[in-house]
Amino acid sequence: MKILLVYPKYPETFWGFQHALKLVAKTAAYPPLGLLTVAAMLPEKWEKKLVDMNATNLTEKDIIWADYVFISAMVVQGKSVKEIIARCKKLNTKIVAGGPVFTTGYDEFDGVDHFVLGETEVILPSFLSDLEKGCARHIYIADEFPDITQSPIPSWSLIDLRKYSAMPIQYSRGCPFNCEFCDIIILNGHNPRTKDTEQVLAELESLYANGWREAVFFVDDNFIGNKKKLKKEVLPAIIEWMKERNYPFTFLTESSVNLADDDELMRLMVEAGFNRVFIGIETPNEESLEECNKFQNKNRDLVASVKKIQNYGLEVQGGFIVGFDSDPLSIFKNQVSFIQKSGIVTAMVGLLNAPRGTQLYHRLEKENRLLKGMSGDNMDFSMNFIPKMNHDTLINGYKHILNTIYSPSQYYERIKTFLKEFKPERKGRRSKLQYYHLRALFKSMWLLGVRGKGKRYYWNFIASVLLKHPRSFPLSVTLTVYGFHFRKVVDKYIEIPNKNILDMEQASS
């Protein structure tokens, strides 16, 4: 059996980092961990190829070669998914589809021969058994959340690691919280399920053996969902593993803001090599936090929590949302103020949307406010429901946020605020200037310091960092490159007239 695993193309988005990657000679941010794991579960005798369309082209020759094309994707990749399906059908190659976009919306995709929905470990074996017998059904749906200690080491040999800026691994699935707009609890459940410590080390060792020496992204829904196991077993083991190999990696992950309440956990994470963490802040408005069940963020000084995490040596990246029913007209000004004061440089602000199957989706459906379709793009100005706030007011306020926080003056000022709080670890490779930093520096000097609109702010910032925070210069270069990408993404959408945005939303309903 010949299996072609295909990962669809991402559009140009905030988290795609397409513009930034060009400056460091990378083609994609991360490889498709799901498909690499699926590949490791397929029979060893089967031939396997993987095409990540974010790193290389999918050719007709690839499709013709395969007996089956396996596709996995997220919602934002939906357009590319449909194009792949059409190409496969034209060439009479059968399709097997799974992953988040299909698990919650498989009925939106025609032409797929077999849907394998839910977590791979629990449902793929049944499908493969039926496939070999020649009696595979159209739809397979997992009816439980599996024990992920059964998950194999991903098949790294199927990709060219050099094309990526970071490698993904997964320690846990599931999140203990209950945010109304989040589909994680639908896809992966409330109870955080974890891998064994030995399993985590084996996956790190596999990357190390394959020559990887850069960032590793723990793509957990909430890395600190099981704090006790992290502190007693996993992090101490990673610390020892990293010491023995002279700190070959840096780590980043996703967490809830209550990380700030656990000093020991932050200390261990930093000692293990973590230097970045994404946190869903969402909003500084307490009523909106109450509305969306984001109780872990309530009744706390969020700016102080962020700065405490930064003090420990973890750069906080933040997710923010506007468009809650409880948002006051002052929300736009308040969001900008919070982002600037907190020093969250990578601040992803999006309009609220209701992913299919979430509590928010069902509530809005009952209120007859739901519109069909959701792009999955965090910043394309689309919403899949009718907001309480006047549409034009909401869109104009949102545009104001993006235009402000990613203007050169505000962006560089935010990095300075962050650097005042950031206390990085001094160990290992983490403070060293790498070749790609120099490449990014020289390219950013041309694009931002010579051709850019904010030339004066750029040079003032570079001078300030060299004088006040020289140890953080490599990180500062990276953040300027990120800012170049973010501004490009913002500019792509900012000039779209509000009427056109409303027309697009109504057309999807």
Only one residue has tokens 């309903």, namely 509
Per the domain annotation, does 473 fall within a domain? no
Only one residue has tokens 């059908």, namely 89
Co-location of 321 and 173 in the same domain: yes
β partners of residue 347: 318
Per the domain annotation, does 472 fall within a domain? no
We report the CATH number of the domain holding residue 239 as: 3.20.20.70
Co-location of 380 and 312 in the same domain: yes
Confidence of residue 430 (pLDDT cuts 50, 70, 90): very low
Whether residue 374 contacts residue 355, with contact meaning beta carbons closer than 8 Å, is answered with yes
Per the domain annotation, does 431 fall within a domain? no
Domain region containing 127 = 2-141
Q: How many domains does the chain have?
A: 2
Give the tens place of pLDDT for each residue, 197-228: 999 999 999 999 999 999 999 999 999 999 99
Cα separation, 497 vs 503, in Å, equals 10
Per the domain annotation, does 309 fall within a domain? yes
pLDDT of the residue at 218? 98
Question: 172-173 and 193-194 as β-strands: parallel, antiparallel, unpaired?
Answer: antiparallel
Side chain identity at residue 291, one-letter code: E
Cα separation, 241 vs 245, in Å, equals 7
Percent of the chain exceeding pLDDT 90 equals 84
pLDDT of the residue at 509? 47
We report the CATH number of the domain holding residue 31 as: 3.40.50
Q: Last residue of some domain: 373, 400, 419? A: 419
Give the tens place of pLDDT for each residue, 395-414: 999 999 999 999 999 999 99
Tell me which H or E stretch contains 71. Answer: strand 68-72
pLDDT of the residue at 379? 85
Give the tens place of pLDDT for each residue, 235-267: 999 999 999 999 999 999 999 999 999 999 999
Per the domain annotation, does 486 fall within a domain? no
β partners of residue 164: 28
Per the domain annotation, does 483 fall within a domain? no
CA-wise closest residue to 355 among 118, 127, 131, 76: 76
For the chain, the straight-line distance linking the first and the last C-alpha, in angstroms and rounded, comes to 42
Q: Last residue of some domain: 388, 419, 450? A: 419
Per the domain annotation, does 482 fall within a domain? no
pTM of the model: 0.93
Q: Last residue of some domain: 419, 437, 467? A: 419
Co-location of 133 and 229 in the same domain: no
Give the tens place of pLDDT for each residue, 33-50: 999 999 999 999 999 999
Confidence of residue 502 (pLDDT cuts 50, 70, 90): low
